[in-house]
Amino acid sequence: MPIEAPRWAPPLLAVQFLTRLPVPVLSRLSAQQAADGLARALAWLPPVGSLIGAATALVFVAAQGFWPVWVAAVLALMVEALLTGAFHEDAVADFCDAFGGTASGERALAIMKDSRIGSYGTLGLGLVVLLRVATMVALPPMLAVAAIVGAATVGRLCAVTLAAIVAPVGQGSAARAGRMPPARLALALLLALPGIAPLAWVRPGATLAALMAMAVMLWWLRRFVSRRIGGSTGDCLGFAAAIGQLAVLLAVAAR
């Protein structure tokens, strides 16, 4: 059996990586093909993020026909958490626990691996979720759809970009995927365009502001994690995704 994964594998592996949706056909891959496909799947994270955002937005708009907007926003995030297994939320909590104090190196890596959540993780995760709900509620329904989809896309693009500019450390998924080559980052940018385009059309200024904030955040995060642990981990990528997503929602909701 060839070591290289077939062309259909990377997008399906990206679906399996970011969601809990069953993808039975992937069982046909060998271990070597799965490893190769996972490295190539990173480029497909932004469009999968767009699909996750579309599901969240659909629930948010539909639920407003039955409940107040705050209830609809919470229900939408509940459905998203079920769809993704709270993948990025777990990363936010782990990242805040590891770096909220002064831990660095192996100690910080050990904290991120710990399944328990501490005070830094609880506060960080709570504030991120609360801000997501508040920004969704602040938007008209149709604008909220474009913003939620665009934010979900940009968030995953942030994770992909961090994987390209910082070498992985540790033994987690980021280390197995390896550092993303420039060609795959370019593909990720191209695949992200459909998810970002509607928001850029209706709110070009907010979209530009969010992308600029994303660039600054990634520059800071690259320096921060390189200094504290010598590279990035899957939790660092997940934190970048969550903060990038939040930056878009905050930019669109700003007066």
Domain boundaries, the chain: 9-253
Tokens found for residue 204:
């070009």
84-92 mean pLDDT: 92
Highest mean pLDDT among 105-119, 168-182, 236-250: 236-250
**pLDDT of 37-54, one tens digit each?**
778 889 999 999 999 999
* Main-chain phi, psi angles of 205, to 5 degrees: -65, -45
pTM over 0.85: yes
Q: Which residues of 23-62 are buried (b: 16+ CB within 10 A; e: fewer)?
A: eeebeebeeebbebbbbbbbbbbbbbbbbbbbbbbebbbe
User: What gap in Å lies between CA 169 and CA 54, rounded to an integer?
Assistant: 32
CB 2 within 8 Å of CB 28: no
User: What gap in Å lies between CA 127 and CA 74, rounded to an integer?
Assistant: 14
70-83 mean pLDDT: 96
Query: What's the distance, CA 84 to chain centroid?
Result: 10
* All residues at 6 or more sequence positions from 243 whose CB lies less than 8 Å from its CB, including other chains: 128, 155, 158, 217
Tell whether the model's pLDDT for residue 175 goes beyond 60.
Answer: no
Predicted pLDDT of residue 40: 84
